[in-house]
Amino acid sequence: DVKVTQSSRYLVKRTGEKVFLECVQDMDHENMFWYRQDPGLGLRLIYFSYDVKMKEKGDIPEGYSVSREKKERFSLILESASTNQTSMYLCASSYRVEAFFGQGTRLTVV
């Protein structure tokens, strides 16, 4: 079975902190994605990557950056966390069709 692992299930950070969310997949997938999920807004794509060191902006990239130095790992970085970035963050990977999601990180910025 494909496994997508996110480093933390719950995270509490202070406003202004730099935050790293890590995601690792074990199936050698080229494509990896970061979404955030908010009530009433669904899943919104922040950034995605289709190869090592390649990244593209999604629909809501402002305030975020990403890093993909190795194929299996895709990191989401909040340069200076703000309260409006409190959300559920979901990482996903895919090869051809379906996406496999991690369990999510519920981030609270106080």
Partner 1 sequence: GQNIDQPTEMTATEGAIVQINCTYQTSGFNGLFWYQQHAGEAPTFLSYNVLDGLEEKGRFSSFLSRSKGYSYLLLKELQMKDSASYLCAVRDGSTNAGKSTFGDGTTLTVKP
Summarize as ranges the residues that interact with partner 1 (CB under 8 A).
4, 30-31, 33, 35, 40-45, 48-51, 56, 58-59, 90, 94, 96-104
Closer to partner 1 by Cβ: residue 41 or 80: 41
Q: Coil, strand or helix: which one is 104? A: coil
Full strand arrangement of the beta sheet holding 4-6:
4-6, 19-25, 73-78, 64-70
77 or 88, CB closer to partner 1? 88
User: Which DSSP letter does residue 81 get?
Assistant: -
Least distance from C-beta 99 to partner 1, angstroms?
A: 7
DSSP-based three-state secondary structure for 56: strand
Which class for 87: exposed (0-12), middle (13-18), buried (19 or more C-beta within 10 A)?
A: buried
- Taking phi over 0 as left and psi of -120 to 50 as alpha, with beta for the rest, 16 belongs to left
In whole angstroms, how close is the CB of 98 to partner 1 at the nearest point? Answer: 4
Instruction: Give the nearer residue to partner 1 in terms of CB position, either 29 or 85.
Output: 29
Minimal distance, residue 43 CB to partner 1, in Å: 4
Nearest residue (CB) to partner 1, 17 versus 54: 54
CB of 31 to partner 1, least distance (A): 4
